[in-house]
Amino acid sequence: METKIFQAEELAYAAELLKRGELVAFPTETVYGLGADALLPESVKQVFQVKGRPSDNPLIVHVADFKMTEPFVDKYHPLTEKIVQHFWPGPLTLIFPIKKNSLSAVVTGGLSTAAFRMPDNKITIDLIKKTEAPLVGPSANTSGKPSPTTAQHVFHDLKGKIAGILDDGATQIGVESTVLDLSGEVPVILRPGAITKEQLEAVLQTEVLLDKHLVKESETPKAPGMKYKHYSPDTPVVMVRANDWEQAIAWAQQEQQRVGMLAGPAVGEKFATEDRYIFEDDTVEAATRGLYSGLRALDEAGQSDVILTQVFEESELGAAYMNRLKKAAGQKYFEKN
């Protein structure tokens, strides 16, 4: 199969392919999604096959407006209207109980709930409208590997496996959306993202819980990205605390390990390593935007035996960054002797 890269003016053709049951990757503000018509179970099955993704993993359903959720949702949480008004379109996925048989079990992972999101990307909103159906959209990459933040990342992973990729440049945020479970009485964040617990609580004026449970391989997750290890390159990743860089690099050299560094300019300028990917600046925003690109670049360069990576405080956006980094590293920090 030839995989075409489409520009915005070719959007109508991309929508036609989706209607025919083909797979087309699309841009969002978070990462690129692997699109299929959510109402065509055979197309959705192809998503799992192409990604090599476990079929128990539920998929997020992408909609062009809130009204598109109505044929599927059985009951909305009382806070839904306030949440949608403040955070949609945007990097926030909402989980609701759904009407029986309204969505295929291939989409829901066999659960009685489903996840919905309205992405903050005009091209993709127009794509959904032209397709005249909601789209599933897991990250458009090989399952378990770093998610794609450019069309070129998607092409690298899925060339020859999907019909096309709608290109809208690099994503602005760089990690997947916050997943908020609204199927119970109390809102619970199942996956942290750019919409933080603090932001949600400020708008809702009520407590929002944070589920820190790591799903084992044998368990069925309620939302994507809940597995213990995920987003991992082939090269081992080790997290390094602020005061441990010197010792970490010395350890790697002693072990004759070629070091790849993923960090901000302050760390990058202080320590020379064989291969480096330096974030745009020292903020957590820059680190979050560059995390997946950096892991991919260092891994694909093949010049490192280990990737040493900068950590950030686990608050606000740092919670999302560290959630992804910990899984990429299999929870492994450099530990002093």
Indicate the domain borders of the chain.
Answer: 4-210, 237-328
Assigned fold of 237-328? Rossmann fold (3.40.50)
Q: What is the separation of C-alpha 50 from the centre of its chain, rounded to a whole number of angstroms?
A: 17
pLDDT at position 224 is 66
Q: Are strands 188-191 and 209-210 parallel, antiparallel or unpaired?
A: parallel
Are 275 and 301 spatial neighbours (Cβ–Cβ below 8 Å)?
yes
Provide the β-strand partners of residue 215: 227
What SS3 state is found at 131? helix
Provide the β-strand partners of residue 97: 113
pLDDT at position 272 is 78
CA distance 84 to 242: 38
Q: Are strands 92-97 and 113-117 parallel, antiparallel or unpaired?
A: antiparallel
Please list the pLDDT of the chain residue by residue as tens digits (337 residues): 899 999 999 999 999 999 999 999 999 999 999 999 999 999 999 999 999 877 778 999 999 999 999 999 999 999 999 999 999 999 999 999 999 999 999 999 999 999 999 999 999 999 999 999 999 999 999 888 899 999 999 999 999 999 999 999 999 999 999 999 999 999 999 999 999 999 999 999 999 999 876 666 666 667 665 554 577 899 999 999 999 999 999 999 999 999 999 999 999 999 878 899 999 999 999 999 999 999 999 999 999 999 999 999 999 999 999 999 999 999 999 997 6
Q: Which residue has the tokens 């799903």?
A: 215
pLDDT at position 222 is 72
Do 237-328 and 4-210 have the same topology in CATH? Answer: no
pTM reported for the whole predicted model: 0.94
* Tokens at 322, concatenated: 């560290």
Assigned fold of 4-210? DHBP synthase (3.90.870)
- Secondary structure E strands in the chain: 4-6, 24-26, 33-37, 60-62, 92-97, 113-117, 135-136, 164-166, 178-181, 188-191, 209-210, 237-240, 259-263, 275-278, 306-310
- With 0-12 / 13-18 / 19 or more C-beta atoms within 10 angstroms meaning exposed / middle / buried, residue 273 is buried
